[in-house]
Amino acid sequence: MTLDATPTWAQLVYLLCAVGFILALKGLSGPRTARAGNLVGAAAAVVACALPFLYLDLDHVVLMLVAIAVGAGLGVYGARVVRMTQMPQMVALFNGVGGGAAALVALVELHAYLPVGDVLGWDTWAITAFTVVVGAVSFAGSVVTFAKLQELMTSRPVVFPGLPVAAVVVVVLALAGAVWLSVGGESLWLGFALGLLGLVLGVLLVLPVGGADVPIVISLLNAFTGLTVAGGGWLLGNTVLLVAGTLVGASGTFLTLLMARAMGRPVTGILFGALRGGSTAGSTALSDRPVRSGTADDVAITLAYADRVIVVPGYGLAVAQAQHTLRELVDVLHERGVRVDYAIHPVAGRMPGHMNVLLAEAQVPYEQLVEMDRINGEFPRTDVVLVVGANDVVNPAARTEKASPIYGMPILDADKARQTVFLKRSMRPGFAGIENELLHQPGTMLLFGDARESLTDVLAGVKAL
C-alpha cells in the first residue's frame, strides 16, 4: 500500500497521530507532564493501529484481531504484574519484540516485492535489507540483555577466543548480502539469511557487555528498533511509522550518548571494552576487611540530630520495595527541621530514570529529587549521607583508581560529607562487582539487613526521640 493510494482523510489522521507522538515525547521530558504525555502517545498508537481497518480491504482480519487481542492481553498482564526491579527486563523484551516485528514486516514486504522487483529501485531493496538485519540484531540483543538482567545467564561479560573475528565475519557477510540484494539478487532465502546473520550479530554484540553497561546497551538497541520501524514505514508507505521510528531512533541514540557520558566512557568502550580487558564488571568476591557497623537506633540518632541530610537511593531500594518507608522517614525528619534531599545519579538503578519513577510511586515531591550535577557541591556541607541500596554511584574508585573498571565515571561525592550511613544486606559488591573504599572510611557506618526492615526500625527510632 503506497502513500498515494491512502485516502486524504486517512493521511490527515496519520499526520495527527504523528503529531501526537511528538507531543508525547515532549511530555515525557518532564515529570509533571509525563503521565499526560504517555496517555497522548498511547492514544495516538491505538488510533494509528485501528485506522487501516477502516479504509483497507484486508485479508485474514479475524487472525489479525486475534493476534492484537493476544498481544494486548499479554502486554497489559506484563505491565500490571512486573515489579519495579524488573522494569528494565520488561523494557528490553518490549524493545526486542519491536525490532523482531519490524524485521518480519520487511521479510513479508520482500516476498510481496519479488514479482515486481524489476520496477523497484535499489533503494527499496537496500532499506529492506537494513530493516531485516538491524531488526534481527535488536531482537537477539534484547533477548540476551533480558537474560543477563533476569540472571538467566551471567551478567558478566562473556568473551571467547575468536569472538572479534566471528563478529567481523558476520558483519562482512551481512553487508555483502545486503549489497547483493540491492543490486539484483532478490530472493526470499537471501532475506532469511540476512535475518539469521542479524540474530547472530545481535548475540555477539551483547555477550561481551556486562555489569552496569547492560542498561546502556538496552538504550542503544532501542535506537536500533526505532530505525527499523522507520524503515518499515518507508517500505509500507506509512508516514506515522516513519515519524514514530525516527523519533525513537533519534531519542534512543541521544539517550545512549547521555548515559555513556554519565558513565564517563565512550559507547565503543562500553560495547567492546571487555575484548581488551575493560568493563564495568569486576570481581564478585566478598570483602573480609573490617567495617564499622551500627544499630537502627544509632542511625536514628545520627539522622535526627543532623541539620543537613542527603539520601542516595539505589537498586537495593527497589529490591526491598522500601521507597514508601523511606519517604515517611524523610517526612518525619522534615518535621524535626532537618533539610533532606534525594541525590539522583543518571545511571542509578538499572535504567535511566529508575530512581525517579520509584520515588514518584511513593509520592516523593519532585522538588526533593536533585540531579548529580546540582547536588555534588552540597556534600561538603552535609552532615549525613544516607545511602540506601546504592554502591557504584558513590564509589571513590571512579576518581582515584585508574585500574578500576568504573574509572572516569562521574559519581555522587558522598565521601566528602561529614558522615555516611550505608544500608546494605551484606558486603557483596554492587552491580559493577567492585569493592567500595567508602565502606571502610572512618566516617562511614553500616546498617546491615533488608532495606525496608532497616528503614522501619530507623523510623521508629526517630519517632521515639
Quote the CA–CA distance of 464 and 336 in Å, as a whole number.
12
Quote the CA–CA distance of 196 and 352 in Å, as a whole number.
31
Residue 10 CB burial class (10 angstroms; 0-12, 13-18, ≥19): middle
Q: Which residues pair with 313 in a beta bridge?
A: 388
Whether the Cβ atoms of residue 103 and residue 137 lie closer than 8 Å to each other: no
Sign of the CA dihedral with 142 first, then 147, 153, and 157 last: positive
User: Of all residues in the chain, what percent are helix, strand and coil, respectively (each to 5)?
Assistant: 65, 5, 25
Q: Is 310 helix (H, G, I), strand (E, B) or coil?
A: strand
Residue in 410, 88, 406 with CA at minimum distance from that of residue 273: 406
- In the residue annotation, 123 being an active-site residue is answered as no
Quote the CA–CA distance of 429 and 436 in Å, as a whole number.
7
Q: Is 424 helix (H, G, I), strand (E, B) or coil?
A: strand
Q: What are phi and psi of 45, to 5 degrees?
A: -65, -40
Helix (H) or strand (E) holding 339: strand 339-344
Whether the Cβ atoms of residue 448 and residue 422 lie closer than 8 Å to each other: no
Q: What are phi and psi of 227, to 5 degrees?
A: -65, -40
Among the options 341, 392, 415, 457, which is catalytic?
392
Structure-block grid coordinates of residue 212: 552496569
Whether the Cβ atoms of residue 338 and residue 344 lie closer than 8 Å to each other: no
Q: How far is CA 417 from CA 206, 327, 340, 381, in A?
A: 38, 22, 14, 7
Quote the CA–CA distance of 162 and 94 in Å, as a whole number.
31
Q: Is 362 helix (H, G, I), strand (E, B) or coil?
A: coil
> Could you list the active site residues?
392
